[in-house]
Amino acid sequence: MLTEDFSNKLSTIGYSFREASPSRFQGAIKSAPPNKAEIVPGSVQVSPLRQMEGVAIDLIVMIKMKSGGSRTVNMQIECPHFIPKRILIDGKWHNIV
């Protein structure tokens, strides 16, 4: 699960994260479609960390904004001991745990 801090950091690059709850979908609420993020096919690479003590996952994400624009974001997720710890988004590290 993403932390609130990580959600705030994603919002700074134009992507908002909201957890789904049943009450959100009840009734006919008309609004602009949410931002969407899609992993660019073929962009995921998994590499071992320090003598196989975990992995680093590199990927490219295309963020499609509700305004109609899009943005490509390079990400690296560092998983020491196979547990996600921090994420590199466009050259800046963010803790996710």
pLDDT in tens, 65-86: 888 899 999 999 999 999 999 9
CA distances, 80 to each of 19, 42, 61, 95 (Å): 26, 23, 22, 13
Secondary structure (3-state) at 61: strand
Mean pLDDT, range 46-73, rounded to an integer: 91
Residue 91 region by backbone torsions, left for phi larger than 0, else alpha for psi between -120 and 50, else beta: left
User: Looking at residues 27-44, what average pLDDT do you find?
Assistant: 76
Q: Using a pLDDT cut of 90, give the percent of the chain over it.
A: 49
**Which of 26, 12, 3, 25 has the alpha carbon at shortest distance from 90?**
12
